[in-house]
Structure 1
């Protein structure tokens, strides 16, 4: 059996530069990954897919699931029989802007590659990831990087490893498609250069305004995080999860305690950047 972590993804910055004729958007985004997330367990056996974990009830094991799509894509690409038992432990909220299904699909590809003795840098594996979704290549890479194009063109970066991070989700799901439709269409400029934290601080998330219009509680989360004096607080992806970075773990823990005391129903995750 292979146990593979599907780390939560955050967008330290997310700049939408243009709408494309193919229906996608031209992006510049700064990816980072946590040391916590969902888990994929895969072992040879009669083909099956089950889901457990705190957020497992919100997903179906049948239909258009990215994990099963990743399995099928891998099997077709590498010409193997899709005879594997797959268990997804869903620890992250669904439709929350922190990778989720993309990270699960990427973890499935990595686990299958290890089981079949295929190098993780095999370009065919990246092609599988790219076909599954715009965030899947970054989740397959699993390290800080600037993503351009749809987000699939990746330039790895160093920095911020071990930085304490707090994720907060107010318990609402927002539609990625609806958030992108709400983007105002104005290019506010590119991502800068320099140390990773400086790039992030100088950046922005262009999807935050339309996401807040759809779910005003996102603004409440960001206001609450700002009061904890983080080095950076921002919404991730298309929302509704927000994150904050801190100088040390004690600051992060105090912030988490304050958030939980304010609204115990909000989901919080204390972690560090990988």
Structure 2
């Protein structure tokens, strides 16, 4: 039974504040330990039930986004055995390490839940991709296993600048360049009461194990990180996920916005945004 004729869902950018690779299973999948937050910036997806599925993509970053059955939005609908017409406003770069496609898929799942009343078995979402479960969860969490184990965490909101040099980095290639695959997991989270507490913890006790191999594949990431570290009031600069998007953390959104404007003027060809992470 259709509960709503059309629904619209926000698909936020996912940021891996830390990502540590702790092992590899016999089937080739890597074990991760990652601290994740979500931005107040993302794609927007609308859906309505139809007999023949379709996907139309618009927005500033629509170029190069596939609209056929290989797109995660349509794959998510097929996984639910539902048919819908989707309209996707693409504001996030693709193959960028911030879960754009996975967040779109999670938005499709939430839209179809509303439209059909069908419940989703969250334990099975990793079948669609390692980042789909965390994007479906959609709030600050610790992600372990191959992405299917999600634990909510209480983290203070923090301001950030996200930067993508408009270079796509394919996740399998990054993992293929990874030198060590049995690294230490994240430490236990202390009580983090402020953005400053969070930044100090991340800087002193965590890392992104995928950053060095991504730098080999896309050396421009090094320039992005150098420029982020050089921004006024930036407290930490790091790559998100498998790249090439990087972030700098700030204690205040005003400082982040000013820094983003400075960097955008320096590198107008890059994708730059100041955001809140929560």
Q: In the alignment, which residue of structure 1 is the partner of 2:38?
A: 33
Question: Separation in 2 of the partners of 1:200 and 1:108?
Answer: 32
Report matched runs for 1:46-195 at 5 Å. 46-47=51-52, 48-75=54-81, 82-118=82-118, 122=119, 124-161=120-157, 163-193=158-188, 194-195=190-191
Matched, 1:18 2:4: no
For residues 106-155 of structure 1, the C-alpha deviation after alignment (integer angstroms, 9 at most, x for no partner) is 0100111112234xxx5x34145221011100000001111111122011
Q: Secondary structure at the match of 2:80?
A: helix
For residues 9-45 of structure 1, the C-alpha deviation after alignment (integer angstroms, 9 at most, x for no partner) is 0100000112221111111011111111011101233
TM-score of the pair, normalised by structure 2: 0.90
Question: Separation in 2 of the partners of 1:175 and 1:3?
Answer: 29
For residues 150-194 of structure 1, the C-alpha deviation after alignment (integer angstroms, 9 at most, x for no partner) is 122011101122x22110001111111110001112534220121
Contact 1:55-1:91 at 8 Å conserved across structures: yes
Contact 1:179-1:211 at 8 Å conserved across structures: yes
Among candidates 217, 221, 242, match of residue 218 of structure 1: 221
Contact 1:70-1:128 at 8 Å conserved across structures: no
Q: Secondary structure at the match of 1:51?
A: strand
Change (3 A) 1:70 1:34: same
Deviates more, 1:247-256 or 1:55-64: 55-64
Q: Secondary structure at the match of 1:57?
A: coil
Contact 1:12-1:32 at 8 Å conserved across structures: yes
Structure 1's unaligned 5+ residue stretches are 76-81
Structure 2's unaligned 5+ residue stretches are 1-5, 193-197
Aligned residue pair count? 263
TM-score of the pair, normalised by structure 1: 0.91
Q: Secondary structure at the match of 1:58?
A: coil
Q: In the alignment, which residue of structure 2 is the partner of 1:79?
A: none
Deviates more, 1:149-158 or 1:55-64: 55-64
Among candidates 207, 225, 230, match of residue 227 of structure 1: 230
Question: Separation in 2 of the partners of 1:186 and 1:45?
Answer: 45
Deviates more, 1:44-53 or 1:137-146: 44-53
Question: Separation in 2 of the partners of 1:153 and 1:112?
Answer: 23
Contact 2:18-2:208 at 8 Å conserved across structures: yes
Contact 1:74-1:125 at 8 Å conserved across structures: no
What CA RMSD, in Å, does the superposition of the two structures yield over aligned residues? 1.5
Q: Secondary structure at the match of 1:56?
A: coil
> In the TM superposition, what is the alpha-carbon distance from 1:58 to its structure 2 partner?
0.8
> In the TM superposition, what is the alpha-carbon distance from 1:83 to its structure 2 partner?
3.6
